[in-house]
């Protein structure tokens, strides 16, 4: 992405128009590298995000997703202490550098006026944020750079702020310096010129340099002198800045992928226009932020579910082991009875009993050893007690194994739901389901809603299901157990229900308000959708059962999404 000094300079002008004299009402942390400011300006609250991560350093205005860290970083706490409720008096961009400064006027606890400067250095792997005092001393920074890390420039509280070291490069807007540099160019193509200028132009991303070369020249350069080359590049850069057409490119899935202050002729991607460069940047980074947060959320849910599944499987293994051990209860009873029936043979100092086992035909010799210091009578009692204990264990452990096996199957179905979740709302429902089941602890305290805003349970359960229209019918598909349960509860008895026959998967329902027979084409389409959301979606000839919803029942006490059904038919589907 060409987030270079040129784009930042253009954006700083947009920031000045929107945020000038704005009041900082709130400071939060979307993640460790980012700080989000809620700034009230021109009668509206704006979200300003500054990201100083090594790979996605940027700055933008946004009204999008707002996520905060559970615990605030030291830097954010420092910002809250010193500049919260402060007013932005000026926004300044350092020429040809990816550095922007926000001048903030505020008051301390004694109502004395204080001045601070928030500096955002968005310079790739060296990106950082600093709060400077009016005397240009570093009050605090996001990253501390001590002497043992860098001997060139230290960033620590109390140190005088200095600009980053200058680079041995020139500005494309400096025609004389550009002419001098180009006197050493000996190539004859756009590509060669772009490569030549890559390490010589200040504040421009390689993509932007390639674009300026493409706008200035044809595929092959004529044998032009340095002055002509410089004039064309200089004119192109000025024309680019003077005629902005902000846009962002989108891929085949209509997902934003890149942003431009004006459409690049050097790219062929489909683009969408915006009214501000900031809006184009917000579309790309906002989508990236949502995607990264969603993936982190998905990993967290998956990890918690796998941990719960591992515990359940370990508990199941232990129960099965105990059950297998209890199956030999008859051996304990037989040993006890053989000891009792042969007491007359046993002498006080005997440590074992050798006798015929008359419980098998023909009887065979058996040796029963006694524990050290234990008499034959006590040994018989021990065997009888072990027999009774194992007998009770078999009775008690069978339902425990069944319940634990249900828990294992249920948690596996949760993992399947995570795999087919499409939105954060889907993941929220899965997380709520895990909380309700006691598998994870709730991290949120839900605010009470006013009666006018409370949705009905039906609306909440069916709000996030997948909806598709086909042949005038509506096809609903649940992507997790909460949604599946909502379909079973709140759809009508004459709606048609679909589910994979031999695999865990989503529930699909075709709404049938007219209570008529459904077309075969519709049934096949609904079955395809259902197969797509099943664990077997990459298989061939997937059997999908379908029946009317009145024949589908969730047994009492069964986990969400677990049903029994009758009167079904089966259709075999290959997912396209």
CA atoms within 13 A on the CB side of 65: 19
Average pLDDT over residues 477-492: 89
Cis omega (within 30 of 0) for bond into 362: yes
DSSP H helices in 453-542: 457-462, 481-490, 520-532
Which pTM was predicted?
A: 0.65
CA distance 327 to 338: 19
Sign of CA dihedral 350, 353, 355, 359: positive
> Who wins on pLDDT, 121 or 350?
121
Kindly indicate the confidence band of residue 455, based on its pLDDT and cuts at 50, 70 and 90: low
Residues 176-192: pLDDT tens digits? 999 999 988 888 788 88
Reply yes or no on whether the pLDDT at 438 is more than 50.
yes
Reply yes or no on whether the pLDDT at 451 is more than 50.
no
- pLDDT at site 518: 92
Residues 397-406: pLDDT tens digits? 998 999 899 8
Q: Which of these, 24, 165, 35, lies nearest to 99 by C-alpha position?
A: 165
Residues 187-220: pLDDT tens digits? 878 888 899 999 899 889 999 999 999 888 876 6
Kindly indicate the confidence band of residue 66, based on its pLDDT and cuts at 50, 70 and 90: low
Report residue 283 as tokens. 């579309």
Average pLDDT over residues 495-500: 93
116 three-state secondary structure: strand
List the chain domain ranges. Answer: 5-141, 323-407, 456-573
- pLDDT at site 539: 79
Residues 140-180: pLDDT tens digits? 999 999 988 888 899 999 999 998 888 889 999 999 999 99
Reply yes or no on whether the pLDDT at 542 is more than 60.
yes
Dihedrals φ, ψ of 53, to 5°?
Answer: -75, 155
Question: Architecture of 5-141 per CATH?
Answer: Roll (2.30)
- In whole angstroms, how far apart are CA 89 and each of 13, 15, 60, 191, 454? 14, 12, 18, 44, 42
Reply yes or no on whether the pLDDT at 555 is more than 70.
yes
- pLDDT at site 71: 53
- pLDDT at site 571: 93
Residues 362-411: pLDDT tens digits? 989 999 999 887 889 999 999 999 999 999 999 999 989 998 998 898 89
Report residue 121 as tokens. 């250095």
Range of lowest pLDDT (199-213, 271-285, 440-454, 473-487) = 440-454
- pLDDT at site 423: 78
Reply yes or no on whether the pLDDT at 114 is more than 50.
yes
Kindly indicate the confidence band of residue 477, based on its pLDDT and cuts at 50, 70 and 90: very high
Q: In what order do the strands lie in the sheet with 113-121?
A: 58-62, 44-51, 34-41, 23-28, 87-93, 99-107, 113-121, 128-133, 138-141
Reply yes or no on whether the pLDDT at 1 is more than 60.
no
Q: Which of these, 106, 79, 91, 82, lies nearest to 23 by C-alpha position?
A: 106
- pLDDT at site 72: 66
């Amino acid at each position: 992405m060409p987030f270079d000094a040129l784009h930042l300079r253009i954006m700083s002008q947009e920031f000045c128009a929107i945020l000038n004299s704005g009041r900082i009402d709130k400071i939060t942390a979307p993640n460790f590298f980012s700080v989000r400011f809620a700034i009230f300006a021109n009668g509206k609250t704006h979200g300003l995000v500054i990201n100083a991560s090594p790979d996605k350093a940027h700055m933008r205005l946004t009204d999008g997703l707002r996520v905060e860290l559970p615990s605030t970083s030291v830097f954010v706490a420092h910002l809250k202490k010193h500049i919260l409720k402060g007013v932005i008096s000026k926004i300044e961009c350092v020429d040809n550098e990816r550095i922007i400064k926000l001048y903030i006027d505020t008051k301390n606890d004694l109502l004395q006026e204080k001045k601070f400067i928030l500096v955002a250095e968005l310079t790739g792997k060296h990106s950082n944020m600093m709060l400077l005092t009016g005397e240009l001393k570093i009050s605090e920074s996001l990253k501390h750079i001590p002497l043992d890390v860098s001997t060139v420039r230290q960033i620590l509280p109390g140190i005088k702020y200095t600009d980053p070291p200058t680079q041995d490069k020139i500005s494309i807007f400096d025609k004389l310096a550009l002419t001098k540099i180009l006197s050493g160019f000996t190539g004859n193509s756009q590509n060669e010129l772009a490569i030549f200028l890559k390490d010589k132009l200040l504040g421009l991303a390689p993509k932007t340099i390639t674009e300026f070369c493409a706008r200035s020249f044809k595929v092959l350069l004529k044998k032009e002198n340095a002055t002509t080359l410089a004039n064309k590049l200089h004119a192109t850069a000025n024309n680019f800045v003077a005629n902005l057409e902000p846009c962002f490119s989108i891929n085949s899935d209509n997902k934003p992928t890149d942003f431009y202050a004006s459409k690049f002729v050097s790219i062929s991607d489909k683009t969408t226009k915006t009214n501000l460069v900031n809006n184009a940047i917000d579309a790309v980074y906002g989508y990236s932020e949502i995607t990264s947060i969603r993936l982190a959320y998905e990993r967290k849910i998956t990890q918690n579910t796998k941990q719960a599944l591992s515990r359940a499987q370990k508990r199941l293994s232990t129960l099965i082991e105990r059950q297998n051990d209890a199956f030999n209860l008859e051996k304990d009873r037989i040993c006890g009875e053989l000891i009792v029936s042969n007491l007359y043979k046993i002498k006080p100092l005997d440590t074992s009993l050798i006798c015929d086992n008359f419980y098998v035909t023909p009887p065979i010799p058996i040796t029963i050893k006694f524990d050290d210091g234990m008499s034959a009578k006590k040994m018989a009692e021990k065997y009888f007690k072990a027999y009774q204990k194992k007998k009770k264990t078999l009775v008690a452990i069978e339902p425990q194994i069944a319940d634990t096996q249900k828990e294992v199957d249920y948690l596996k179905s949760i993992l399947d739901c995570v795999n087919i979740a499409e939105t954060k709302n889907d993941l929220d429902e899965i997380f709520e389901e895990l909380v309700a089941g006691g598998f994870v602890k709730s991290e949120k305290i839900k605010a009470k809603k006013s009666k006018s805003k409370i949705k009905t349970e039906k609306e909440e359960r069916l709000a996030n299901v997948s909806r598709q229209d086909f042949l005038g019918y509506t096809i609903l598909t649940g992507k997790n157990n909460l949604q599946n349960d909502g379909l079973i509860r709140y759809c009508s008895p004459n709606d048609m229900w679909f589910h994979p026959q031999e695999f865990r998967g989503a529930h699909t329902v075709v709404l049938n308000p007219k209570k008529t027979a459904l077309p075969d084409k519709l049934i096949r389409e609904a079955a395809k959708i259902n197969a797509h959301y099943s664990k077997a979606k990459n298989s061939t000839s997937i059997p999908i059962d379908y029946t009317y919803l009145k024949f589908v029942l969730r047994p009492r006490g069964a986990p969400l999404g677990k049903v029994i059904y009758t009167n079904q038919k089966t259709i075999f589907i290959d997912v396209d």
